[in-house]
Homo-oligomer: A and B are copies of this chain.
Amino acid sequence: MTSEVQLAMSTQVAAHLRAQILSGTMPPGDRIRQEVVAEQFGTSRLPVREALRMLAAEGLVELEPNKGARIPRLDEHEVSLLYTMRERLEPLALIESIPHLTDEQIDELRLIQLRIEADTELRDFLVLDREFHMLTYSGCDSEHLLGTVRRFWNTTQHYRRAFMEVSGPRRMWIVNAEHNLILDAIERRDAEDAERYLAGHIRRTRIELLRHPEVLVAPSTAPHRTARSTASGGPQPLD
């Protein structure tokens, strides 16, 4: 009698699609057809429909009546605005979180940052960077705030990747420096300082991003491209 919770099928499907979208396997503009996904999982289309609703709630797909789901494509202004929204909300999440962070969590933060500095793989960086920030917010006990922050990260994920691909290692150095500033402030439990550094970090990222308009134009070659079958045949949760 294991303590495994029997996850609903729709939740599993959602997790798989979420991983694919966040990992970039399915870029913005791609259409998601219920039947194709259902076949991949060997289920009916019903859990797929529910999964798509979940993802729509997280801002990962957009649904249009009688037209199905597709991965939203953002223009330059929308991406910039999303970063501005992050700049206003994430410092709040950090303020809420810091008093409740355990010493162990701060130790792990330091560990993650060391791994970021040691590793140079782009894919690892994207995952670790997200882990780092989310862990700094993990002391925040408001699901509304955390959910909103997560949604912002989700919707901008593809553009983060594209941005990191075009910006050189210099960008990585800057991020590391800024992470360390935030981390030091957290270790001192100095919420005010941490807030300032975080807001600056997001703000500078946004400004830097706007200097690379090539990542902000249509990322998918063919418009209305359809995602047929993906490389992996089964679910492999990433997030």
Give residues in A with beta carbon < 8 Å to B: 7-8, 11, 46, 49-50, 53-54, 56-57, 59, 65-66, 77-78, 81-82, 84-85, 88-89, 92, 96, 142, 144-145, 148, 151-152, 155
Residue pair A85, B92 in contact (C-beta under 8 Å): yes
Q: What CA separation (Å) do A148 and B142 show in the bound complex?
A: 15
In the complex, what residues of B have CB within 8 A of residue A11's CB? 65
Partner of A144, one of B49, B53, B82: B82
21 A-B pairs in the complex with CB atoms less than 8 angstroms apart: A7-B65, A8-B66, A46-B46, A49-B50, A50-B53, A53-B53, A53-B54, A53-B57, A56-B57, A57-B57, A77-B142, A78-B142, A81-B96, A81-B142, A85-B89, A85-B92, A85-B145, A85-B148, A88-B89, A88-B92, A144-B152
Cβ distance A184 to chain B, nearest Cβ, rounded Å: 25
- Residue in B closest to A51 when the chains form the complex, CB atoms: B53
In the complex, what residues of B have CB within 8 A of residue A85's CB? 89, 92, 144-145, 148
In the complex, what residues of B have CB within 8 A of residue A8's CB? 65-66
Q: What CA separation (Å) do A221 and B160 show in the bound complex?
A: 47
* Number of copies of this kind of chain in the complex: 2
- Residue in B closest to A46 when the chains form the complex, CB atoms: B46
Instruction: Tell which of A81, A89, A96, A144 has the most Cβ of chain B within 10 Å.
Output: A144
Cβ distance A41 to chain B, nearest Cβ, rounded Å: 17
In the complex, what residues of B have CB within 8 A of residue A148's CB? 85, 148, 151
Residues A144 and B78 in contact in the complex (CB < 8 Å), given A11-B65, A57-B53: yes
In the complex, what residues of B have CB within 8 A of residue A78's CB? 142, 144
In the complex, what residues of B have CB within 8 A of residue A89's CB? 85, 88-89
In the complex, what residues of B have CB within 8 A of residue A81's CB? 92, 96, 142, 144-145
The 4 closest A-B pairs by CB, nearest first: A57-B57, A53-B53, A88-B88, A8-B65
Cβ distance A67 to chain B, nearest Cβ, rounded Å: 11
Q: What CA separation (Å) do A59 and B54 show in the bound complex?
A: 12
Cβ distance A65 to chain B, nearest Cβ, rounded Å: 5
Q: What CA separation (Å) do A84 and B151 show in the bound complex?
A: 18
- Residue in B closest to A88 when the chains form the complex, CB atoms: B88
- Residue in B closest to A155 when the chains form the complex, CB atoms: B144
Q: What CA separation (Å) do A101 and B151 show in the bound complex?
A: 28
